[in-house]
Structure 1
Amino acid sequence: MVLEVLQGWLTAIATGAGVYVAIGGLNSWRRETTGKRDIELCQAVIERFYEAEHRMDVLRSPYSFASEAASRQKGEHESEDESYRLDLLFVPLARLEAQSAFWSELFSYKFRMRALFGEEAATTFKHIDDAYRSFRAAAVTRYQALHRNPDGLSPETQTKLEERIWAELAEPDEIAVKMREAINAMERVCIPIVRSTRPAKRLTALLKRS
């Protein structure tokens, strides 16, 4: 009788120990999986921020060719000279069209960053969003104003728009500055996470100190 009771206790203890080990292993696996997910997300985001800076340089390159505007719908009665003028005018918009998938994908990461790391991580997208919107607004405004009338803008307004469209026309170059600020902000979030063994905990500590 005593032996049976003792065996029962030993079985219960062994079962409990097994459950404890299993739970501990599951928790460890969850931490490792979460850490891997966080690191992979940050790697993907920071890589795309670096690529975004390069793509913005391509968008704003002053070396443009009328052949880039092949997607522009030409009017029925455009002369050859008029087509050439409008094609050059359309180049920034053609470049935007060619890159649209990249920028849409980039901005979609904002919501994943917010979900995992909070609002402060999501706000790192603000600088890059401001730069993109500034370029797009300038390119659209310039094209619409000059499409039918080559003198549709005052010299001052046209200069201001072209300083946003083309790189290095202004000093400082506000769009280039915003792109660099975006990268610096995202590096402050992502690099500690990539280097940390417990990303979410490390980020929380960093944000509390800031």
Structure 2
Amino acid sequence: MLDFISSIVIFLAALTFIAGASSWRREFIGKRRIELAESVLAKFYEAEDVIKQIRSPISCLSEGNTRKQEEKELKEESLLLDRAYIVIERYQKKITLFSQIKSMRYQVQSAFGTSAIEPFNELDAIISEIFNASHMLGSNYWPRQGRVKMKPEDFKKHLYEMQKNEEIFWLTDKDTISPRVQKTISKLENILQVAFIPPNDLLTGAVDDIRGYIGIFIGLFKKQDPNNK
């Protein structure tokens, strides 16, 4: 009888410890997930503003002149290539922010699952499209504009493609990039919202852990009971 009472006392003490440890563990993990979610979202919000700044059509004459010129470049070619290089030059000034976002990719994947890296991939794709538009405008469309004789249908196609690239390159009334960045951030917000766990869920988790340990204890008790054959 005394052994049974001692076992019950030990069991109750163990349950108290388990409940406290379980709640602490879940709260600690939850806090880390919240901190990570807040940090990542803050970086994406900042990136949204930076991308708008990068694509701003307002520029000064000195912008773009850090581009390394090729040999035998004509002055007119250099001016167009420098102009197209403006977005890349502005991006390079903010490279630390985008490097920080890249470094968080696998932390977020580990904490929130594989689907959590989709917004990171989408942001990379958007940046790549801006760079590609820069290349196409500087090396193809702008140099040909008004300088290469084209058939009416070819000129119409050229003008359409140039305008489409300029809509990616510059922040214009027909902006196609900003809505995509906003959609990417909304997707990230939906993925990371699970980090903000209500307190009741912490209690539920602790209760589930206790139930599991009770099952283990009962199983061990039955094995030790000489009458249980």
- TM, length-normalised to structure 1: 0.73
Aligned to 1:71: 66
Aligned to 1:180: 182
Given that 1:59 and 1:96 are in contact with CA atoms closer than 8 Å, whether structure 2 keeps it comes out as yes
The answer to whether 1:106 aligns with 2:101 is yes
C-alpha displacement of 1:64: 1.5
Identity of aligned residues (%): 26
Distance 1:167 1:143 in 2: 17
- CA RMSD across the alignment: 3.3
Q: Which moved more, 1:183-192 or 1:37-46?
A: 183-192
Given that 2:141 and 2:162 are in contact with CA atoms closer than 8 Å, whether structure 1 keeps it comes out as no
Change (3 A) 1:148 1:163: closer
Highest RCO, 1 vs 2 (Cα 8 Å, sep ≥ 6): 2
Stretches of structure 1 that go unaligned for 5 or more consecutive residues are 202-210
Distance 1:28 1:195 in 2: 13
Aligned to 1:128: 123
CA offsets, 1:82-129, max 9 Å, x none?
655443232112112222232232234333332222233333345433
Given that 1:72 and 1:87 are in contact with CA atoms closer than 8 Å, whether structure 2 keeps it comes out as yes
The answer to whether 1:165 aligns with 2:169 is yes
**Structure 2 counterpart of 1:185, one-letter code:** K
Distance 2:138 2:198 in 1: 48
Distance 1:144 1:194 in 2: 48
Q: Which moved more, 1:159-168 or 1:94-103?
A: 94-103
**Structure 2 counterpart of 1:196, one-letter code:** P
Change (3 A) 1:55 1:196: farther
Aligned to 2:217: none
Distance 2:43 2:130 in 1: 18
Distance 2:65 2:103 in 1: 29
Change (3 A) 1:19 1:103: same
Change (3 A) 1:16 1:108: same
Distance 1:75 1:54 in 2: 32
- TM, length-normalised to structure 2: 0.68
Given that 1:113 and 1:121 are in contact with CA atoms closer than 8 Å, whether structure 2 keeps it comes out as yes
Given that 2:83 and 2:138 are in contact with CA atoms closer than 8 Å, whether structure 1 keeps it comes out as no
Q: Which moved more, 1:122-131 or 1:31-40?
A: 122-131
Q: Which moved more, 1:158-167 or 1:77-86?
A: 77-86
Distance 2:63 2:162 in 1: 22
Distance 2:57 2:168 in 1: 11
Q: How does 1:17-56 map to 2 (within 5 A)?
A: 17-56=12-51
Aligned to 1:206: none
Distance 1:60 1:39 in 2: 32
Aligned to 1:87: 82
Aligned to 2:221: none
Given that 2:84 and 2:135 are in contact with CA atoms closer than 8 Å, whether structure 1 keeps it comes out as no
Distance 2:142 2:159 in 1: 16
**Structure 2 counterpart of 1:47, one-letter code:** A
The answer to whether 1:156 aligns with 2:160 is yes
